[in-house]
Chains A and B, each alone.
Chain A
Amino acid sequence: MPDQHESASILNGLRLCLPVAISVAAYGLVWGVLAGQAGMTVAEVAAMSALVFAGASQFVALELWAPIPPVWSLIAAALAVNLRFVLMTATLRPLFGHLPKRAALWRMHLIADETWAIGMAEVAKGRDGAAAMIAGGLLLYVTWVTSTVTGRVLGTGLEDPTRWGLDFAFIAVFLALLVSLWRGIGDLLPWLVAGGVAVAASLVVPGKWYIILGGLAGSLLGAWQSTRKQAP
């Protein structure tokens, strides 16, 4: 049974991730509707959402889906879109390194952009980021699977979420998390470079590569800055 401190951290994580879960539910419904139009069955929708659990790559998969799906193209596209997770979970050793390997490894399936960012922001405040990340991850997982299946079953008749500004909800969450990660003026240049490279890359490279390219450029510059300062 979890102790009081741990259950408080779990509740805190659920509370932090609730607004994100609302946006995820809206997108899950839309993805489910589109999956139906692309010809996916209810079982395929449920299997993909539960086993892949990565929204961006699932949207890309719909572009490729066909009565006889192109297996290798779908796998290659999922790899390209989700490669950014390598950089995210590479930062998680301080949070999950103390767990038995198997316990740490199943938790990796629950890592999503939003919950990862919320957890890292909790760590920056000196709180239990691991509990927030996993509690929020479970909430988003259940939300994603149920909302995509619901969208597939209900079919059409759902409105475009961009009309309600829900596409901006994700950007707003990430912006607010960025504010909470601010540690001082030393962050400014790496973040500007990360953003600049990302914008440039998003105009010329397809998919989600801009996140990897911008993130690498900014973080390498930041690492160079801070190690240069320490050197005599």
Chain B
Amino acid sequence: MTPEAALAIAGMALVTYGVRAGGFLLSAYIPQSGFAAAWLRHLPGAMLAAIVAPGVLTGGPVEAAAAVLTVVTAILTRNLFAAMAVGTIAVWLGRSVLPLI
């Protein structure tokens, strides 16, 4: 390992751990009621919506259809694995079978 590689990996590790620990440490100074508390309560759902939206909406018809199937499965079964299996199989079928038709 070159000194540059060791330094780069150590630096990447440091900043990444810094943001992980930093959010937790900073949260001690965030009030437990009012606007800030409501903001933290809304953060998980909004972050998840932000994570999935580009993949679903800019992917194409196969991904969009698979996303609908995934959500329906999740609502009906409340089962993470079932929803993931349905979505992944739908995308696999869409990508491998549709081009043949």
**Which of A54, A67, A79, A190 is close to B45, meaning CB atoms less than 8 Å apart?**
A190
Q: State in angstroms the CA–CA spacing of A173 and B52 once bound together.
A: 9
On chain A, the residues within 8 Å of B5 by CB distance are 40-41, 44, 69
A80-133 residues at the B interface, CB under 8 angstroms: 82-93, 96-97, 104-105, 108-109, 111, 113, 116-118, 120
A48-65 residues at the B interface, CB under 8 angstroms: 48, 51-54, 57, 61
Q: State in angstroms the CA–CA spacing of A139 and B25 once bound together.
A: 25
Size category, B interface: 35 or more
B23 touches A175 (CB 8 A): no
Q: Within 8 Å of chain B (Cβ to Cβ): is A9?
A: no
Q: State in angstroms the CA–CA spacing of A123 and B55 once bound together.
A: 26
**Which of B23, B42, B49, B84 is close to A88, meaning CB atoms less than 8 Å apart?**
B23
Chain A binding surface SS class: helix
Chain B binding surface SS class: helix
Interface size on A, residues (CB 8 A): 100
A171 touches B55 (CB 8 A): yes
- Contact string against B for A residues 175-203, beta-carbon threshold 8 Å, 1 for contact and 0 otherwise: 11111111000010011111111110011
B27 touches A89 (CB 8 A): yes
Q: State in angstroms the CA–CA spacing of A211 and B84 once bound together.
A: 21
On chain B, the residues within 8 Å of A217 by CB distance are 46
B59-101 residues at the A interface, CB under 8 angstroms: 63, 66-67, 70-71, 73-75, 78-81, 83-92, 94-96
Q: Within 8 Å of chain B (Cβ to Cβ): is A222?
A: yes
On chain B, the residues within 8 Å of A223 by CB distance are 35-36, 38-39, 41-42
Least distance between B90 CB and chain A CB atoms (Å): 8
**Closest residue on chain A to residue B96 by CB atoms:** A163
Residues of B within 8 A of A (CB): 1-2, 4-17, 19-24, 26-28, 30, 34-36, 38-58, 63, 66-67, 70-71, 73-75, 78-81, 83-92, 94-96
Q: Can you report 12 A-B residue pairs in the complex whose CB atoms are below 8 A from each other?
A: A51-B12, A82-B15, A85-B19, A89-B24, A165-B89, A173-B83, A175-B71, A175-B74, A191-B46, A213-B50, A215-B49, A227-B38
New A-B pairs, 8, CB < 8 Å, besides A109-B21, A175-B87, A218-B50: A23-B84, A69-B5, A75-B8, A89-B27, A172-B70, A180-B74, A194-B53, A215-B50
8 closest cross-chain pairs (CB), A and B: A214-B50, A218-B46, A172-B87, A222-B42, A195-B53, A89-B23, A165-B91, A51-B13
